[in-house]
Amino acid sequence: MTHSCRRLRRGVVTAVAAGMLMVPMTGGTAFGAPASVPAGATAVGPLGPTDPASPSPGVFTELTPDVVNQIEQSVQQVMREANVPGVTVGIWTPDKGRYIESFGVADKSTGEEMSPDLFLRIGSESKTFTVTSLLELVDQNKVGLDDPIGKYIDGVPNGDEITLRQLAGMRSGLFNYSEDDGFFKALTSDPERSFTPQQLLDYSFKHPVLFQPGEKFYYCNTNLVLLGLVVEKMSGQSLGAFIKDNVTEPAGMNDTLFPVGAEFPTPHPQGYTNQTATGEVEISTNWNPSWGWAAGSMISTLEDLHAWARTVATGVFPNGDTMITPATQKQRLTTLPTGIPGAAYGLGIFNVQGWIGHNGSLPGYETLTIYLPAAQATIVVMLNTDINHDGTEPSTLFGQAVTKIVTPGNVFNLPAAPAAR
């Protein structure tokens, strides 16, 4: 992805298994960038692709003082090279230690330090919560993954053919509203304005479909808006209320929320972005994330994302209760290639070299939440800028730097995908 403001239009997904939301993000960048694969591609297993020549896949390096020193040097190097104001890194394992540290500043004007207790906008990581909500309704027999979206929502192009599964797997063929010129102008001219889900869909539906359902992978925020509306219709609740009652509260994630406007709990860092009308860097802290809605508007904290990493990857709440039935979770984790080497996508979740999760990118903020089942290890990265460095999301750079040290057999790398046009 480029550094220009036009990046907003791409609906990016960049980070990990999902951050991808991304276009002006609502969530992710590298992941969000459009890519395609041949129809009928073979699904890969839940652990995803690994390089057989790489050192011991699934093995996690013990967090000794020497290893911690290597991690800190690598993180600080990425900060300098990518000009990142502040970042927090969390690493958790059952037997190799844990590590939490913040670097840099939360506010460049005051010098306030970054800290692990801050709230952050999580962009496309919101997709994992929306799709989880859908899958819970699947388990309740209220919806079927192979139902056409037209069964629930009227006016969708190809709505009688596109299934809920194809929407969740980014294979619908619908145009990404985030790439529409009119949307870009509306958002950047007044980033504090509010968008309704229908307004977002209108930006998409005025464009012809890009391909037939199931033919290709194409990261598209439109898909998640539709799934959010399905959750609302079939649950009788607002999406935010359903997620709170059925996902975040049962997971003990009391500091994770789905905002109705631009509210942002304190403490939080200032966000710095160049996804602006002029391309100049601006503070985006108070911008309204409603344009991301089900695809990228949520807010969370380091500890909550730590809990979520394992929960979403296993389908089991921290207390041991089932969040998603094993059969449905298996469908979530059945992934198809994305066109990005080493990265596959399931139902609202990525698998990048064995790391399962998602990244998120919204103007001014990026997060990365990933879980390695083979080592039962979690990594969470949170930072207060979304400005790419040499075409790569900074969250990906941090994920790569850390995993090169702690899991050299499973190095997280999600290069920005090529633009669709």
Express each pLDDT in 389-417 by its tens digit.
999 999 999 999 999 999 999 999 987 54
Express each pLDDT in 297-347 by its tens digit.
999 999 999 999 999 999 999 999 999 999 999 999 999 999 999 999 999
Question: Which parts of the chain register pLDDT below 70?
Answer: 1-54, 416-421
> What is the spatial distance between Cα 75 and Cα 397, in angstroms, rounded to a whole number?
9
Confidence at residue 414, expressed as pLDDT on a 0 to 100 scale: 84
The values of phi and psi at residue 244, to 5°, are -65, -50
Name the CA dihedral angle for 179, 180, 186, 192, rounded to a multiple of 10 degrees. -30
Single out the residue of 53, 152, 145 nearest to residue 330, CA to CA: 145
Confidence at residue 163, expressed as pLDDT on a 0 to 100 scale: 98
Whole-model pTM: value is 0.90
Other CB atoms closer than 10 Å to residue 15's CB: what's the count?
A: 41
- Chain centroid offset of residue 332 CA: 15
List the domains of the chain with CATH numbers: 5-406 (3.40.710.10)
- Chain centroid offset of residue 86 CA: 19
**Six token digits for residue 290:** 């409603």
SS3 88: strand
Confidence at residue 5, expressed as pLDDT on a 0 to 100 scale: 31
> What is the spatial distance between Cα 299 and Cα 289, in angstroms, rounded to a whole number?
10
The values of phi and psi at residue 404, to 5°, are -60, -30
Other CB atoms closer than 10 Å to residue 318's CB: what's the count?
A: 15
> What is the spatial distance between Cα 236 and Cα 250, in angstroms, rounded to a whole number?
19
Confidence at residue 11, expressed as pLDDT on a 0 to 100 scale: 32
Express each pLDDT in 133-156 by its tens digit.
999 999 999 999 999 999 999 999
The values of phi and psi at residue 309, to 5°, are -55, -55
Query: Mean pLDDT in the chain?
Result: 89
Confidence at residue 193, expressed as pLDDT on a 0 to 100 scale: 97
